[in-house]
A and B are shown apart, each in its own frame.
Chain A
Amino acid sequence: MKRRKAYTPYLFLLPALAFMGVFLFYPIVDVFRLSFTDYNMITEANFTGLENYRNLFNDPLFWKTLKNSFIYLIGVVPILVVAPIFLAILVNHKLAGIKWFRAAYYIPVVTSMVVVGIMWKWLYQGNGILNYILQTLGIINNQINWLTDPQIALFSVMAVTVWKGLGYYMVIYLSGLQSIPQELYEVSDIDGASWWQKQIHVTIPLLKPSIMLVSILSSIAAMKVFTEVYVMTNGGPLNSSKTLVYYIYEKAFENLNLGYAAAMGFVLFIVIFILSFFNIKLMDQSSR
């Protein structure tokens, strides 16, 4: 329909493809290649075949950090899928000042994770305000060592991830809620449905696409956790809060064991690939 030179579309795409070629496509291939070498930035890389993967398999810390990442996923995702639904229902009420509450719940989302981590490290102090509040409310008897008890540290960090993420997923649900026709609730009112019945029979089924989306997004995010661990615990005590991405960081940039880190990266990639495969499918549906 148009008189246009055949190369025009490629000219428009060129800058993007150049950027992505250097910083996305090439690194994908390169990391895969690195995972079969012993590259350490100092000496020349030697091809070592599957040795990194074999070592990985026998590395207890790899398994521990992988396990920690999965505990993270299992602990964080259900809360981040369910709690924001209720938050969204709550802030969807048409009340005076509701916009301010929405904004307040979203502030942790716009705050950098570094500051959030530092802030919670301060709240988590032994003599800190969190222990004081929980003791005053009678929820705990003795001070809890939130970040220094190996049994607890990982869960304390998870709580921060949840706290920061609530507002983000709330907003996703909110737009889902606002697309539910009001008549459906009116009909259930006539039928004499209770609040809970309305949520279970109307809200939840109609929010299903958003629920799917939040499950996938929060799972992928949980597998990539790094900053909160770096800022609050450095993976300690006794590696109890070390996640897979943190271990990759340590191996690659502290020990300069880049080949080994690349092999771990490949394992992470497979996990995330499976999770995001569903994400892309979902996106494709919504863009049609």
Chain B
Amino acid sequence: MSKSFKKITKTILIYLLLFTIAIIMIGPFLWLLSTALKSGGENIFQYPPKLIPESPTLINFLKVREAITIEKFFLNSTFVALVIIVINVIVSALAAYPLARMEFTFKNIIFYGILGTMMVPFQILMISIYIFSVRTGMTDSYQGLILPVAVNAFGIFLLRQAFLTIPVDIEEAAVIDGCNSFQIWWRILLPLIKPSIATLSIFTFMMSWSRFMWPLIVISNPDYYTLPVGISYLSGLFSSNWRLIASGSLISIIPIIIIFLFLQRYFIKGAMAGAVKG
């Protein structure tokens, strides 16, 4: 009896700890939501602060649309993310195949050259990429938002690992059937690495959705703002209107949080692959 009592106490303590930490991780979002829901008549700076709004309203979410063209930023973010995913997946899957499955001259040099780029932070390269973008007219354009950040060593590495796990026999059978390399890649190997492609896509989406520094640098025309740049702009524009800032911030993160809740598995795999352990 004392043993089961001990076990129950332990379970209660664990739940208590789990809840406390959950409050620390989720609490800030709830406070943001509370602020966004407060009506104009309520003093949001009152002390002590009040978590539950007196007369909750959605008006602030509508007002965001009067202040900034948030639906435009939303479309920009979505468009940019989708195009980057397509480019990244195709280019990475193409490059990963020979690196996993073929023998050729310079293979190791190319592989380590690609891997080595992971050691050079984008924050350094962007100085040169910015100059390049100005000269080629890519500033204030979708190309400027997309091309410089579309392909990276991570995607190639992740898909190479996926190709390595496929048995060679499958490929040999296809060669006997007379498939050429491209057909093997497209018809046989790509379908087999779908889970890794899904992981890469979602990881790429998350990175793109929250990317800030590069869009901040390459875009000055609000027509091309992505959500993070647009929200940062909003918070600069209305530095004391926290109802508006809170509403805009929430609008910008709702899509990614919904996608996360539905596709958690892939997010976790992406995080693992990002750490290159899986």
Q: List chain A positions with a Cβ less than 8 A from chain B.
A: 1-4, 6, 8-10, 12-13, 15-17, 19-20, 22-28, 30-31, 34, 39, 41, 87, 90-91, 93, 95, 98-99, 101, 103-115, 118-123, 125, 127-129, 132, 136, 163, 166-168, 171-172, 175-176, 209-210, 213-214, 217, 220, 223-224, 226-227, 230-231, 245, 248-249, 252-253, 258, 261-262, 265-266, 268-269, 272-273, 276-277, 279-280, 283, 286-287
Comparing B52-60, B112-120, B190-198, the segment that makes contact with chain A is B112-120
B31 touches A95 (CB 8 A): no
| B residues 92-140 touching A (CB-CB < 8 Å) | 92, 94-95, 97-99, 102, 104, 107, 110, 113-121, 123-132, 134
B150 touches A19 (CB 8 A): yes
Contact A19 B121 (CB under 8 A): no
Looking at A8, A20, A27, A87, the one whose CB has the most chain B CB atoms below 10 A away is A27
| A28 CA to B117 CA, complexed, in Å | 9
Known: A114-B232, A115-B252. A9 touches B210 (CB 8 A): no
Residues of B within 8 Å of A226, CB to CB, are 123, 213
What are 10 A-B contacts defined by CB distance under 8 Å?
A: A27-B132, A109-B271, A111-B253, A115-B252, A118-B231, A119-B249, A217-B275, A230-B232, A276-B119, A286-B276
A41 proximity list for chain B (CB < 8 A): 131, 134
Q: Say yes or no: A283 contacts B228, CB within 8 Å.
A: no
Q: Is the CB of B150 within 8 A of A258?
A: no
Asked whether, in the complex, the Cβ of B127 is within 8 Å of the Cβ of A262, the reply is yes
Q: How far is the CA of A266 from the CA of B62 in the complex (A)?
A: 46
**B123 pairs with A119, CB closer than 8 A:** no
Structural contact, A286 and B25, CB atoms closer than 8 A? no
Report the separation of the CA atoms of residues A245 and B212 in the bound assembly, to the nearest whole angstrom: 14
CA distance A273 to B147 in the complex (A): 25
Complex contacts, A112 vs chain B, CB 8 Å: 209-210, 212, 227-228, 252-253, 256
Q: In the bound complex, do residue B95 and residue A13 qualify as a contact, i.e. CB atoms below 8 Å apart?
A: yes
A125→B153 CA distance, assembly (Å): 41
Q: How far is the CA of A247 from the CA of B125 in the complex (A)?
A: 15
Chain A residues within 8 Å of B28, by CB: 119-120, 123
The reply to whether the CB of B199 lies closer than 8 angstroms to some CB of chain A is no
B26 at the interface (CB under 8 A from A): yes
Whether B277 is near chain A, meaning CB under 8 Å from some CB there, is yes
Note all chain A residues with C-beta closer than 8 A to B114. 16, 20
Task: Chain B residues near A168: list those with CB within 8 A.
Answer: 271
Min CB distance, B116 to chain A, in Å? 8
In the docked arrangement, what's the CA distance between A90 and B129, Å? 44
Known: A1-B172, A119-B28. 6 other contacts (CB 8 A): A19-B147, A90-B21, A95-B14, A129-B31, A175-B277, A213-B277
**Are A9 and B98 closer than 8 Å at their CB atoms?**
yes
Report how far A13 CA is from B160 CA in the complex, Å: 12
- Residues of A with C-beta under 8 A to B22: 101, 104-105
Q: A19-B151, A265-B127 are in contact. Are A106 and B260 (CB under 8 A)?
A: yes
Interface string of B14-55 (1 = CB under 8 A from A): 110110011011101101100100000000011111000000
Can you name the residue of chain B whose Cβ is closest to the Cβ of A272? B121
A13, B268: Cα distance in complex, Å: 29
Residues of A near B148 (CB, < 8 A) are 23
Which 5 pairs, one residue from A and one from B, show the smallest C-beta to C-beta distance? A112-B210, A16-B95, A9-B98, A265-B124, A27-B128
